Amino acid sequence: MTNETEKQHPEGAAKLVDPELVKSLPPMAVDQSLSQRNAPGQTTAKPNQGTPPDAAKLPTDATGRPRDLTPAEAKGVNEAVIEKLKTVFDPEIPVNIYELGLIYGVSVGFKGDVHVRMTLTSPACPVAGTLPGEVESKLKQLDRVTDAKVELVWDPPWNKSMMSEAAKLELNVM
């Protein structure tokens, strides 16, 4: 006589997840677990940590209400973001993440929101869980940055040719 579990998982079939464990987890725990794997080929945005954008950091109009950034102001924020990224270092390599070529894109919205697309030197990088959060935290400290999101991507895979000439010289990679 077969029990209910054997009916769901025929002989020889792998039982990958304990159904009782899944039932005991809140629904978001399963979703977050899947989104945080960051396997090669996946593009995963870091989940919102719940802090609302800080509109008080925006310039104000004549009535004192926050207004959108002008294109020139947004360009200035973009430059400030790049300078701040140059203060973040991969703990295993003595070069900042910008010069290492780990930053694939920076965009600044007119509401002061910043979006950074970045990668790591390897999907198995030990700082995968902490470095994106460090980047977000540092960017949120900047004037006129109301919110910052880091999207960790794996395509294209990082390689040494993506480093700046200065990084290659510092690491003696030519």
* CATH number for the domain harbouring residue 33: 3.30.300.130
Q: Return the DSSP state at 3.
A: -
Residue type, 116: V
Helix (H) or strand (E) holding 108: strand 103-108
Query: Would 7 be classed as within a structural domain?
Result: no
More confident site: 83 or 173: 83
pLDDT at residue number 49: 53
User: Of 25-29, 91-95, 100-104, 149-153, which gets the smallest average pLDDT?
Assistant: 25-29
CA angle 160, 164, 170 (to 5 degrees): 85
Query: Would 33 be classed as within a structural domain?
Result: yes
In the block, tokens 């300078």 appear at: 83
Residue type, 117: R
Q: What is the pTM of this model?
A: 0.69
Query: Would 37 be classed as within a structural domain?
Result: yes
Query: Would 1 be classed as within a structural domain?
Result: no
pLDDT at residue number 135: 97
Transcribe 114-137 into DSSP letters.
EEEEE--S-TT-TTTTTHHHHHHH
- Angle of the 71-85 helix axis to the 131-140 helix axis, nearest 10: 140
The total domain count for the chain is: 1
pLDDT at residue number 91: 82
Residue 37 zone, left/alpha/beta (φ > 0; ψ -120 to 50; rest): alpha
> Structural domain of residue 140, as residue ranges?
19-171
pLDDT at residue number 129: 86
Question: Beta strands 147-153 and 113-118: pairing type?
Answer: parallel
User: Of 16-20, 73-77, 112-116, which gets the smallest average pLDDT?
Assistant: 16-20
Query: Would 2 be classed as within a structural domain?
Result: no
Is it the case that residue 164 has pLDDT exceeding 80? Answer: yes
User: Of 22-26, 56-60, 65-69, 96-100, which gets the smallest average pLDDT?
Assistant: 22-26
Closest CA to 82 of 64, 53, 102, 65: 102
Closest CA to 96 of 114, 118, 74: 118
pLDDT (tens digit per residue) in 37-80: 444 444 444 444 557 788 899 999 999 999 999 999 999 999 99
In the block, tokens 């991969």 appear at: 90
Confidence band (pLDDT; 50, 70, 90) for 94? Answer: confident
pLDDT at residue number 14: 40
Q: What percent of the chain has a predicted confidence (pLDDT) above 70?
A: 71
Query: Would 12 be classed as within a structural domain?
Result: no
